[in-house]
């Protein structure tokens, strides 16, 4: 049996260390404070008995649990990130422990009247009677993805202490800067040496994901001409009006607030405009690769059409791919999803197999040669003051890791 208090203590020791990443930095890790937790994790991995514990110059951590079977078994991996989102402060996190949650409002901060309520966050009702860890309403919690790290280390510790559970070689990896899209950028897949891996970075208990968006970013620049407005007839070109034409020419209902499931979208997330120049920043998302490519073509054609209308180049659009749907790389090796699904079922967990309406390090790693589905880590309401995680969810995810290791060895034995 897992020791609940031991897991609580471990998790809290992680989240009380500020590890926010910084998209404006060009270093790896992007913030020096990420080293504080990284170095702690290295020492902890050594202390529980992991082998080949390494940390490189960019703070990527790897370690090995050697096989305890005498037959050939694939090497599998488990991966999480230790940075937290820069969207909301992760400094001076003060976790609150709510035992035997009663299904009612939780007062996070009485002074500021900050309430975590099931009236708004309905998922809370899934965890009545369980132990919740919340914030004090002034910071994020950091369960994304320190819950994943806690689960991986706790699982490795459990397997080390219970050699009767048979498993092959297991590699673990902890990365910086996932929250700013760089978690896999400097991950050494060859050094990691796993046949496949799982990121422990999902939310609700049971989540198992091997599909995600194809993603691109687009920067649209519109050029105008500024002239004194009193003498502007036939001379002034207002870039903001042209930008508005561009915006209104894209499908209005194909935006995040009007789409769900497998539906893709164009998302305008930033506008900076003056008469002389307006810059629009978009993200383009679609699960279907063909539809994704068509969306990019729509933006290019619209750019060309507007330039033809004005009989000169008034608008440019630069599109850069960001990541692709891991489904293309995982489907040829679907047994790695099947093993995770079977592990959950054997533990009495209902698998929730769905597509991610977002991205994951697992996507990039899959295209780097390491097929990498995503498994629940248990947290909810990431990146903000209402973030929480049930301790029982952390424990279940820990059990899933151990069961995956066991099933992999059995199936190959």
Domain boundaries, the chain: 4-212+325-412, 214-323
- Span 204-220, mean pLDDT? 96
136 is in an annotated binding site: no
Q: Give residue 334's pLDDT.
A: 97
Least confident of 96-110, 249-263, 356-370, 380-394: 356-370
380 is in an annotated binding site: no
Locate 348 and state its tokens: 């009495």
- Span 142-161, mean pLDDT? 98
**pLDDT, tens digit, 9 for 90 and up, residues 55-93:** 999 999 999 999 999 999 999 999 999 999 999 999 999
Percent share of the chain, pLDDT over 70? 99
**pLDDT, tens digit, 9 for 90 and up, residues 8-44:** 999 999 999 999 999 899 999 999 999 999 999 999 9
Q: Which residues, 6 or more positions from 134, have their beta carbon under 8 angstroms from its beta carbon?
A: 95, 96, 98, 106, 108, 116, 141, 387, 388
Annotated catalytic sites, by residue?
Answer: 83, 178
Does domain 214-323 sit in CATH 1.10.3720.10?
Answer: no
Res 265 pLDDT > 80: yes
Determine the Cα–Cα distance for residues 108 and 209; give it in Å rounded to an integer: 31
Determine the Cα–Cα distance for residues 308 and 314; give it in Å rounded to an integer: 9
- Write down the CATH superfamily of domain 4-212+325-412: Zn peptidases (3.40.630.10)
Q: Give residue 40's pLDDT.
A: 98
228 is in an annotated binding site: no
Burial class (CB in 10 A: 0-12, 13-18, 19+), 12: middle
Count the helix, strand and coil residues of the chain and give each as a percent rounded to the nearest 5: 35, 25, 40
Report residue 282's pLDDT band, with 50, 70 and 90 as the boundaries.
very high
Q: Give residue 412's pLDDT.
A: 55
Closest CA to 359 of 216, 219, 189: 216
Q: Give residue 413's pLDDT.
A: 44
Assess contact for 196 and 334: CB atoms under 8 A. Answer: no
Res 350 pLDDT > 80: yes
**pLDDT, tens digit, 9 for 90 and up, residues 397-410:** 999 999 999 999 98
179 is in an annotated binding site: yes
Report residue 234's pLDDT band, with 50, 70 and 90 as the boundaries.
very high
- Span 210-225, mean pLDDT? 96
Return the higher-pLDDT residue of 58 and 361. Answer: 58
Report residue 358's pLDDT band, with 50, 70 and 90 as the boundaries.
confident
Report residue 359's pLDDT band, with 50, 70 and 90 as the boundaries.
confident
**pLDDT, tens digit, 9 for 90 and up, residues 166-193:** 999 999 999 999 999 899 999 999 999 9
Number of helices and strands (H, E) in the chain? 10, 17
- Span 192-199, mean pLDDT? 98
Determine the Cα–Cα distance for residues 252 and 392; give it in Å rounded to an integer: 42
To the nearest whole number, what is the mean pLDDT of the chain? 96
4-212+325-412 shares its CATH topology with 214-323: no
The residue count of the chain comes to 413
Determine the Cα–Cα distance for residues 285 and 245; give it in Å rounded to an integer: 21
Rg (CA), the chain: 24
Q: Which residues, 6 or more positions from 165, have their beta carbon under 8 angstroms from its beta carbon?
A: 159, 402, 405, 406
Q: Give me the residues paired with residue 171 across strands.
A: 64, 77
Residue 109 neighbours by CB distance under 10 Å: 16
Burial class (CB in 10 A: 0-12, 13-18, 19+), 188: middle
207 is in an annotated binding site: no
């Amino acid at each position: 049996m897992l020791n609940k208090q031991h897991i609580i203590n471990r998790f809290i020791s992680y989240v009380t260390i500020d590890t926010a990443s910084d998209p404006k930095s060009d270093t790896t890790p992007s913030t020096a404070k990420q080293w504080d937790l990284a170095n702690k994790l290295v020492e902890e991995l050594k202390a529980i008995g992991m082998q080949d514990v390494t940390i490189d110059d960019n703070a990527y951590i790897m370690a090995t649990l050697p096989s305890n079977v005498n037959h050939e078994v694939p090497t599998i991996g488990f991966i999480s990130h230790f940075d937290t989102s820069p969207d909301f402060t992760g400094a001076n996190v003060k976790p609150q422990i709510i035992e035997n949650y009663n299904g009612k409002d939780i007062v996070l901060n009485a002074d500021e009247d900050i309430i975590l309520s099931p009236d708004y966050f309905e998922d809370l009702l899934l965890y009545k009677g369980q132990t919740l860890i919340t914030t004090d309403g002034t910071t994020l919690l950091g369960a994304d993805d320190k819950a994943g790290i806690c689960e991986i280390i706790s699982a490795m510790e459990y397997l080390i202490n219970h050699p009767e559970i048979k498993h092959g070689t297991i590699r673990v990896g902890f990365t910086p800067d996932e929250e700013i899209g760089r978690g896999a950028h400097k991950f050494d897949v060859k050094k990691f040496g796993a046949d496949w891996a799982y990121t422990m970075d999902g939310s609700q208990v049971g989540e198992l994901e091997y599909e995600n968006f194809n993603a691109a970013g687009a920067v649209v620049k519109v050029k105008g001409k500024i002239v004194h407005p009193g003498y502007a007839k036939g001379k002034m070109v207002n870039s903001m009006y042209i930008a508005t034409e561009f915006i209104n020419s894209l499908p209005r209902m194909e935006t995040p607030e009007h789409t769900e499931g497998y539906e893709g979208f164009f998302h305008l997330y930033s506008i900076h405009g003056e008469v002389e120049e307006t810059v629009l920043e978009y993200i383009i998302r679609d699960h279907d690769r063909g539809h994704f490519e068509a969306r990019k073509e729509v933006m290019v054609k619209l750019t060309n059409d507007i330039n033809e209308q004005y009989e000169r180049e008034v608008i440019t659009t630069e599109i850069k791919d960001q990541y692709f749907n891991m489904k293309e790389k995982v489907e040829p090796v679907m047994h790695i999803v099947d093993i995770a699904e079977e592990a959950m079922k054997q533990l009495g967990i209902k698998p929730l197999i769905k597509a991610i309406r977002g991205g994951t390090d697992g996507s990039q790693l899959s295209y780097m040669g390491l097929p990498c589905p995503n498994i629940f880590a248990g947290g909810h309401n990431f990146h903000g003051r209402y973030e929480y995680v049930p301790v029982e969810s952390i424990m279940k995810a820990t059990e899933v890791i151990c069961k995956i290791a066991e099933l992999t060895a059995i199936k190959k034995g």
